[in-house]
Amino acid sequence: MKTRDRILNAALELFNQQGERKVTTNHIAAHLDMSPGNLYYHFKNKQEIIFELFLSYEARVDQNLVVPIGRKLTIEDKLSYLQEVFQGLWEYRFLHRDMESLLFEEERLHSRYRAFFRRCQKNTERIYEGLRDANIIDIDQRNIEGLALNTWIVVTSWFSFLQCNLLLGKNETVTLEMLKGGIYQIFQLERPYLTDEYRERVEAMQVDFVAKPDWL
């Protein structure tokens, strides 16, 4: 593995474990048993590392939020989109956990994130249009736009919700299973729009794969 990739992987691990604010470039270098100078040869500061990690996360989300060509969407696609989104959210969890401070501290990242949001919004709308075309949901265009935005809000704010409402002690941390509770909430957002043809199947899928967490 290239040194640059090793630095990014180590930074992601440490940011996720400890929070971006608690990790310095010296911590990352020490974790890799390399000199700070070697790290600075590849990244001049921590902000560059964060920006590169965001680009990796951005590419992952862009690759996931794509409507297939040549076939209609299925309810399995619907679940797959959500599972992939929340798995990516987990693997890059420091971004959403520390998002507000990261965006306000780095204008380049803030600008990139705004464009990313707009693209995700449009791609999510296309997915809901695909579900409508497959007769899985019955929804007009105005409500598609609102549902796509509400879905994005749940995804991007779910970490904050968990930290503010469920964690009682300072040493408690969000788990992957807690994070996946957000999938249940998105199913709930979509539920009013399910068609009679698919309602029973989708609700059965919700129970089998993302049943309501007992802590909600």
| Amino acid type, 151 | T
**Residue 23 and residue 128 in one domain:** no
- CA angle (50, 56, 59) in 5-degree steps: 140
pLDDT at 168 over 60: no
**Residue 95 and residue 4 in one domain:** no
Q: Which residues neighbour 65 within 8 Å (Cβ) at sequence distance 6 or greater?
A: 81, 85, 120, 123, 124, 127
- What pLDDT band is residue 170 in, cutting at 50, 70 and 90? low
Q: Do the domain assignments include residue 50?
A: yes
**Residue 23 and residue 104 in one domain:** no
Please compute, for residue 151, the number of CA atoms within 13 A of its CA located in the half-sphere on the CB side. 28
Q: Do the domain assignments include residue 216?
A: no
**Residue 25 and residue 119 in one domain:** no
Kindly state the tokens that stand for 75.
């309810």
Range of the domain at 2: 1-44
Q: Do the domain assignments include residue 215?
A: no
Contact 213, 184 (CB under 8 A): yes
- What pLDDT band is residue 165 in, cutting at 50, 70 and 90? confident
Q: Do the domain assignments include residue 84?
A: yes
**Residue 16 and residue 32 in one domain:** yes
pLDDT digits (tens, 9 = 90+) for 51-101: 999 999 999 999 999 999 999 999 999 999 999 999 999 999 999 888 888
**Residue 27 and residue 82 in one domain:** no
**Residue 75 and residue 39 in one domain:** no
Q: Looking at residues 188-194, what average pLDDT do you find?
A: 95
pLDDT digits (tens, 9 = 90+) for 8-50: 999 999 999 998 999 999 999 999 999 999 999 999 999 999 9
Q: How many domains is the chain built from?
A: 2
**Residue 179 and residue 129 in one domain:** yes
**Residue 60 and residue 24 in one domain:** no
